Chain A
Amino acid sequence: MAENDIASMGHLMRRAGFGAQYHELEARAAKGYEETVEELLNPQDHPDGMDLDLAERYFIEWNHFIRGVPEYIAFRMINSARQLEEKIVLFWHGILCISDSKLQSYPTEYEELELFRHHGLGSFKDLLLGISKDPAMIYYLDNCLSHKGAINENYGRELLELFSLGVGMDGEFNYSEDDVKECARAFTGWTIANSIPQQPYGRYAAQFVYNPDDHDDGEKTFLGETGNLNGEDVIDIIVKQPATARFISRHLYNFFVADDVEVPSWMDTPPRDPETIKMLEDEYFRSDYNIKSMLRVLFNSDAFKNARFAKVKSPIETIIGTLRLVGDWTEPKPGLEFIFDEMKYMGQEILNPPSVEGWHTGKEWIDGGTLVHRINFTADSVCNTSFPGIQSIIEKLAAQAPILSPEGLVDGCLKLLGDYEMSEETRRMLVDQNSKGGEVQTDSEEFGAKVGETLRMIVATKEYLYA
């Protein structure tokens, strides 16, 4: 198999999933790139992506109690064989945002992630309908407080601004303040039963309820269409707008391909790669708003294949990717709570995005504080030679030759990390650092530690901040 097959596969798995160990990359590369894309889009094995039996018994609290949900989600991201399904959960979670700091009801929040898991690769129209009926969302953006004759515009506004059309496109506004109000009117009566705050129903998820008595039946005009519009009609109008195609395409591009400018700039700043966005927009309409079809086009495009290391990794990609690499948490055991703090310190606390805008991405993930946490976490993880994933790297390197040159050690580590590319200057510094001890015998006692130290410096590089 060609060397670049591993490189492409490492790239695909970092983007469509949370990265993979070298032996998995080899196995997938042997199957072929397009076949792997199909398998990620339509996974056949494991309806849940993994054997959930043990996990569910272990994270016994995940479903009903106040703790355990972030850990359970993390556990699934680490272990699911259906990696794209978990990745798309994270994608939508960052766009169709809800936040635990307001909801404080993990069972209800979890239901929303299940919605993304089941419909995140399907029709965007179904997803918008699902999110408009999602109890967590209805509570988070106060639609349960929006009544006939006394609207609360919070959901109506964010549905347009952040979930579908975006504020504007090509320098023009996509909707008016009146559209916001009319949109909010159309969703009156879409509410929930079981109030969300913990008492007295906190351990059960809230339910969607449509209350026809509280629905505003009057005539509305939304984006130029007039009638007795309800929420479904509004969504029908939204999904056929070119602005929605643009918005979803830019989000997919920014998440899966390469960092674009931040969302508030999209009205005035054209896409980084207009051709690829156009291709995605066309597929959006051709496939009746199907996300899976858009992703198939995307993953098989040259733009995607050529975008290796064109994105700054998100904190969750960093953490989950590191744990998958070192092979920790393949089975349930105590102590996974720490993962929640790491996400927070690195700037991406799951189920708690900073606002309904989600997280800012790209270089905005990195500041002095988050950078230090990111480097320290990855560095400490990869130099721990007791982890099975690191053991396997050590064994593979030892199997290469009895003696490794400083170059051989650095290049070998980079390859086994999924073909990471370093600038020539950085690679030279890594090699120089290793040169002090000269060549190293791979059967020596200190070889493992030496590999750990090399990996530690690799993950501390600028290049490793990218995926």
Chain B
Amino acid sequence: MTSSKKDPVLVVLQLSGAYDALNTIIPYNDPHYKDFRTVLKVEPEEVLAIDNNVGFHPSMAPIKNLYDQGKVAVIQGIGYPNPIRSHFRSMDIWHTAAPEKMGMDGWLGRAIGDMDPHKENVLTGVNFGRGLPRALATSGVSVASVGGLDQLGVLTGIEDQNQRTEALDIFARMYSPMIGSGVTNDYLSQTGLDALKGADILATAPAGYTSTVEYGGDQFSQWLKNVAQVHLAGLGSRVLYTGLNPGAFDTHANQTTAFPQLWGQVSDAVENFYQDLKEHDASQEVVILMFTEFGRRVQENGSGTDHGSGSVAFVVGDAVEGGLYGDYPSLELDKLDQGDLQWNNDFRNTYATLLEKWMGLDAKPILRGSYEQFDFIK
């Protein structure tokens, strides 16, 4: 890979728990909004208006700022056929890109397999978090998953370096895949070998990194910092994944406290990440996708909102043609889907756009079908 043009990189931020689309991009001039949301409504003067119809929640000022610079695509009314209101099944659908039947492997795992078919780089896909999201889990595809750049290395308890080298050599041989040992064993083998290789390389990332950007102390911000460190270290990573703890945005109650706090934290972290890349002249190399598993019920339940369907997603970056995409779902009673926002564009349209127009891949085999694409990539 000696081309002077850097390979495009996709950063995916999974904002779990189902953020309330209606209070994220707010139809603040729609009279129905105030009726449905007597407690949770955001007053029109507080909304960070995009146009006369919709605007960002006030806690998202840093993202609004990026929007004003033309770097944010807002995908309104995103969803999938026959919406499921279970967090787990719905997140699974976003991960596998298979709403109709149970998918076993992840769309990004398949994309990584496509980019690096011979597994030349164990760091083509890197996840920061506790547990590997199914989006990245595809059999035969190597993905590094770490809890943080400060926790790396196998058998670090062996102090004698020669002894450790010898032990790691045996470890590598013991984890070499054996024919016919089964799916789980193959997976464990691959994971063991990748952990061994990946840890050594990843451990080098923080050393060369300096930045004036100060990330927040929370885990999400720190993981985004790790994402920046890995990207800037030039390790050839193409898909970098992290997110909030599962259920973070699941605001059945006390939404007025938790919701602005979470979006504030996420927005700050994203802005810091963008500035960090910009400072290193790398902001044109990365596009960010932010998504959640579904929207929330239009009618509030008192202090919070229950599970809904139609949602909103965001694509951020220099390469992004900012603006509103998809239609804002109607709040007319008869246009709601069982009291929820009716989706109008399939999430796989967004995936297909990112895969083809940004990553330069053939989306069809990865998504197992053809999907209409947006124009949000320049």
Contact = CB atoms under 8 A, between A and B. Distances in A.
Interface in A115-152: 141-142, 145-147, 150-152
Given A366-B188, A379-B157, A462-B185, A355 B152 contact: no
Contacts of B365: none
B2 interface: no
A264 B152 contact: no
Interface in B51-100: 84-89, 92
Contacts of B155: 375-376, 379, 456, 460
A424 B134 CA distance: 32
Nearest to A384: B157
Given A364-B131, A366-B188, A423 B181 contact: yes
Given A142-B253, A372-B195, A367 B88 contact: no
A462 B192 CA distance: 8
A354 interface: yes
A224 interface: no
Contact of A368 (B85, B102, B195, B247): B195
A144 to B, nearest CB: 9
Nearest to A362: B184
Contact of B191 (A151, A153, A368, A429): A368
Given A177-B338, A357-B88, A375-B155, A429 B130 contact: no
Interface in B122-151: 127, 130-132, 137, 143-147, 151
A360 B304 contact: no
Contact of B174 (A101, A376, A426): A426
Contacts of B178: 423, 425
A368 B198 contact: yes
B307 A157 contact: yes
Interface string A421-459: 001011001100100000000000000000000001100
B301 interface: yes
Contacts of B86: 157, 161, 167, 264
A376 B157 contact: yes
A429 B192 contact: no
A263 B178 CA distance: 29
A154 B306 contact: yes
A461 interface: yes
A314 to B, nearest CB: 13
Interface in B170-211: 170-171, 173-175, 178, 181, 183-185, 187-189, 191-192, 194-195, 198-199
Contacts of A357: 87-88, 246
B21 to A, nearest CB: 18
A4 B301 CA distance: 59
A312 interface: yes
A357 B131 CA distance: 14
Contacts of A360: 131
A157 B85 contact: yes
A152 B304 contact: yes
B146 A264 contact: no
A150 B303 CA distance: 11
Given A264-B92, A354-B247, A259 B184 contact: yes
A141 B247 CA distance: 12
A200 interface: no
Contact of A372 (B88, B152, B184, B252): B152
Max chain B CB contacts within 10 Å: which of A369, A376, A425?
Answer: A369
B154 interface: yes
Contacts of A157: 85-86, 307
Interface residues of B, number: 62
B191 A355 contact: no
A369 B146 contact: yes
A225 interface: no
Interface residues of A, number: 60
B101 interface: yes
B167 interface: yes
A414 interface: no
A345 interface: yes
A278 interface: no
A344 B152 contact: no
A356 interface: yes
Contact of A363 (B146, B154, B188, B198): B188
B245 interface: yes
A371 B88 contact: no
A433 B304 contact: no
B105 to A, nearest CB: 13
B302 A460 contact: no
B153 interface: yes
B184 A312 contact: yes
A294 to B, nearest CB: 25
B156 A376 contact: yes
A460 B245 contact: no
Nearest to A266: B102
A132 to B, nearest CB: 17
Contacts of B301: 145-146, 150-153
Contacts of B88: 263-264, 355, 357
A347 interface: yes
B189 A369 contact: no
B154 A376 contact: yes
A465 interface: yes
B132 A364 contact: yes
Nearest to B184: A363
A148 to B, nearest CB: 12
A457 B195 contact: no
Contacts of B170: 429-430, 433, 457
Contacts of B181: 423
Contact of B195 (A371, A383, A429): A371
A380 interface: yes
Contacts of A141: 252
A366 B187 contact: yes
B304 A142 contact: yes
A180 to B, nearest CB: 8
Contact of A354 (B175, B246, B338): B246
A366 B191 contact: yes
B144 A368 contact: yes
A372 B199 contact: yes
A424 to B, nearest CB: 10
Given A426-B174, A462-B185, A462-B188, A265 B102 contact: yes
A373 B306 CA distance: 37
A453 B36 CA distance: 66
Nearest to A269: B102
Contacts of A366: 187-188, 191
B245 A145 contact: no
A360 B246 CA distance: 12
B252 to A, nearest CB: 4
Given A152-B253, A370-B131, A355 B247 contact: yes
Contacts of B92: 264
A141 B191 CA distance: 36
A145 B131 contact: no
A268 interface: yes
Given A152-B304, A153-B306, A368-B144, A465 B252 contact: no
A326 to B, nearest CB: 14
8 contacts: A145-B252, A152-B253, A264-B86, A354-B245, A355-B16, A368-B195, A375-B154, A376-B153
Which 6 A-B residue pairs are closest in the complex by CB-CB distance? A367-B145, A355-B246, A367-B132, A368-B195, A380-B157, A355-B247
Given A142-B253, A376-B157, A429-B173, 7 more contacts: A101-B245, A142-B304, A152-B302, A268-B102, A368-B143, A456-B167, A462-B189
